[in-house]
Amino acid sequence: MVQQSTDARDVPLEERLRQKKQGFAVQKEATTEPSSSLDAGGRARRANKNQPLELSSKRAVGRFRQVVEVKKKRVLDPRFEAQSGRLNEDLFNKSYAFLDEYKQRELQELKQQLKKTKNMTKKDELKHEIALRQQEMTEKNKQEKIKSALTKRKREEREAVASGKGAFYLKRKDKKKLELQAKFQDLQETGRLSKFMAKKRKKNASKDHRWLPTQRK
Written in H, E and C, the secondary structure of 9-31 is HHCCHHHHHHHHHHCCCCCCCCC
Q: Report the pLDDT value the prediction gives residue 37, as an integer from 0 to 100.
A: 56
Quote the CA–CA distance of 106 and 80 in Å, as a whole number: 32
Residues 6+ positions from 150 with CB-CB distance below 8 Å: 170, 175, 178, 179
**Global pTM?**
0.46
CB 146 within 8 A of CB 170: no
* Residue 38, beta-bridge partner list: 44
d(C-alpha 106, C-alpha 112), whole Å? 10
Domains of the chain, residue spans = 91-167, 170-210
User: Would you state the pLDDT for residue 26?
Assistant: 45
pLDDT given for residue 216 in this prediction: 58
pLDDT for the residue 35? 42
H or E segment to which residue 121 belongs: helix 120-162
- Residues 83-115 as b/e (b if ≥16 CB within 10 A, e otherwise) read eeeeeeeeeeeeeeeeeeeeeeeebeebeeeee
- The whole-number pLDDT of residue 178 equals 77
pLDDT along the chain (217 residues), means of 10: 53 78 52 50 69 76 74 81 80 88 92 90 91 88 83 81 73 78 78 79 75 62
What is the phi/psi pair of residue 95, to 5°? -70, -35
- The confidence score (pLDDT) of residue 79 equals 78
Q: Considering just the CA atoms, what is the radius of gyration of the chain in Å?
A: 41
Burial 123-162 (b: 16+ CB within 10 A, else e): eeebeeeeeeeeeeeeeeebeebbeebbeeeeeeeeeeee
Residue 44 bridge partners (DSSP): 38
